[in-house]
Structures are given as C-alpha cells and as structure tokens.
Copies of this chain bind each other. A is one copy, B any other.
Amino acid sequence: VDGTRERMIGTTTRLLRSQGYRASGLNQISAEARVPKGSMYHHFPGGKEQLAAEAIAASAAFVSATLDDCLARKEPAAALDSFIDLLIDQLEGSGFVDGCPVATTALETAATSDLLATTADAAFTAWTRAIGERLHTSRVPDADGVATAIVSAIEGALVLARAKRSAGPLRDVQRTIPKLLGAPG
C-alpha cells in the first residue's frame, strides 16, 4: 500500500468541507494530493462523484466514532455538550472553515446525484441513530424525533456559524439541548 488512495480521500474531504463539491475539481485534488491525474481514474473509475462519495463516507464514519465515544462515556446532555465543544474547537481552530464535511456537498448535489444524496443521507441517518438509541436508553420521549431535531439543529448551527464567523449559534444550540431532552430549561 503506497497511501495514494488515502491521500486522495483525505485531500477531497478537506476540500469538500471548506469549499464544496463544484469548486473542488480533479485538477486541484490531484495537485494538492500530489497524485497524477491519470491515476485518479485508476483508483476511482467513477471519477469525482465516486471520490466525493468515498470522502463523505469516510468523514462521516470519523464523526460517528467521535460521537459514539462521547455518548458512551456520559449522560446524553453532557455527551452532546462535549460533542458540540469539539465541533466548536474545530470550527474556531480552522478560522471558521471546517464545518460539516457532508452538508455543502449534500445541498449542491441533492437534485443531481443519487449517489451523493444517498451517501449524505446515510451519514445523517447514522448520527441520528446513534443519538436516538442513546436517548431511548435514557427513556427520553419521542427519542428518534428528538434525535433528528438535535442533528438538524447542529447542522443548521454550523451553517449559521460559518456565515457569521462566530461559534455563537452552536453555543445557543448547546444551551437549548437539555430542553429537548426534557430536562428543566
């Protein structure tokens, strides 16, 4: 293994996250990954669409592992608080560039690529399910609906936070999550 494939996926993940799908051409990806453009089609015969789908799936799995780790170690409210702290650190540490690695591509391609829409949906569904199962265990009413609302609120706050260049929206969502879990507001 020479790591070529992993380097291409890593570079694509970073570019999708900061600038989205359309802006990330194969020329830029191959240049920044230091991989000849010809070998991109060797590794990803489906071209940019396949490469983006694998990059989204890989970054979604990384987010899932982080989320699962938070949920395994703490009560739901504290776990989600810690998870959002990590998102804030990443967003602020990157100068408000590193938001959700899935959302930009999902919005750009939802109407035109079944592969990318399905891959994005699988990511959101995995995160929602992880939270929902934890809320079920803690007997939160309407656990699946609340889990979807929490993932939605975090995703939306990442959109607002990037436009505002401030973590404020994430802090607001963080503070209101206990109300969704049925804790005293």
A residues whose Cβ falls under 8 Å from a Cβ of B: 18-20, 22-23, 95-97, 99, 103-104, 106-108, 110-112, 117, 120-121, 124-125, 141-142, 144-146, 148-149, 151-160, 162-165, 168-169, 172-173, 175-176, 179-180, 182, 185
Contacts and interface: CB of A to CB of B under 8 A. Distances in A.
A163 B23 contact: no
Nearest to A148: B172
A19 B108 CA distance: 5
Contacts of A20: 20, 22, 107-108
From DSSP, what is the main secondary structure of chain A's interface residues? helix
Interface centre among A18, A95, A104 (most CB of B within 10 A): A104
A175 B160 CA distance: 22
Given A104-B108, A106-B162, 6 more contacts: A111-B162, A145-B172, A149-B172, A152-B155, A155-B160, A156-B156
A162 B164 CA distance: 23
